[in-house]
Each structure stands twice: as structure tokens, then as C-alpha cells.
């Protein structure tokens, strides 16, 4: 496999995730490549060159909307807690034993 460089457009074959390389590092004999689309590192052994037409650039502004950070996560957890408190499970379980 050719060395991967920052700026290359690659596809992670197990999920078909396509992204632009933002970082390449080696750790314990494995080459890891960070893709901009997810911000995650992928094992280079599962990456292959992608056609540029498959790449959809995600703007910084869009990325902020989808990754609200700690405050967004805390709000989502609080919302789940409220929903959990409001649900009466008796509505969803059968009344007879089995």
C-alpha cells in the first residue's frame, strides 16, 4: 500500500466512510489515519484510495451543529432522564404472567 499523506481522500472499507486525511501516525507497528469526516483514526490496513466524487466536505460550521460538545451531551442526557421519569412502563408490559 502506498504511504498515505495528509490531504489524500480515502475510504474505510468496512463502513464505506470517505474522508480526507488530516493526520497519520504509527503506534505499536500499526499505521493510523485520521479522517476529517468523523475525526476518528482508522487502521490504514482497511483504507483504500477513494474517488474524489465520493468525498463530501463537511464545513466547520456543520461539524459544530452535529458535535455540540460536553454541554450538548449533558443536555441530551438530562432530556433522556426526563423522558425516563415520564414513562409508565406498565403501559408497555403484558398484564398476564407467562
Report the mean per-residue pLDDT for the chain. 79
β pairing state of 30-35 and 41-43: antiparallel
> For 69-97, what is each residue's pLDDT tens digit?
666 677 777 777 776 666 566 666 666 65
Distance CA 18, CA 51 (A): 9
Contact (CB, 8 A) for 75 and 68: yes
**Over the stretch 17-70, which tens digit does the pLDDT of each residue have?**
999 999 999 999 999 999 998 889 999 999 999 999 998 876 555 555 555 566
| pLDDT score recorded for residue 84 | 64
pLDDT value for 77:
77
Q: How many CB atoms lie within 10 A of CB 44?
A: 20
Q: Which of the four CATH numbers 3.40.1440, 2.30.30, 2.60.40, 1.10.150 does domain 1-56 have? A: 2.30.30
Q: Where are the domains of the chain?
A: 1-56, 59-87
Amino acid at each position: 500500500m502506498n504511504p498515505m499523506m495528509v490531504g489524500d481522500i480515502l475510504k474505510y472499507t468496512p463502513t464505506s466512510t470517505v474522508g480526507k486525511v488530516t493526520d497519520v501516525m504509527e503506534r505499536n507497528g500499526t499505521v493510523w489515519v485520521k479522517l476529517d469526516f468523523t475525526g476518528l483514526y482508522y487502521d490504514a490496513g482497511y483504507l483504500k484510495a477513494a474517488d474524489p466524487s465520493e468525498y463530501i466536505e463537511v464545513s466547520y460550521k456543520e461539524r459544530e451543529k452535529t458535535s455540540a460538545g460536553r454541554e450538548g451531551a449533558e443536555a441530551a442526557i438530562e432530556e433522556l432522564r426526563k423522558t425516563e421519569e415520564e414513562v409508565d412502563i406498565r403501559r408497555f408490559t403484558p398484564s398476564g404472567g407467562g
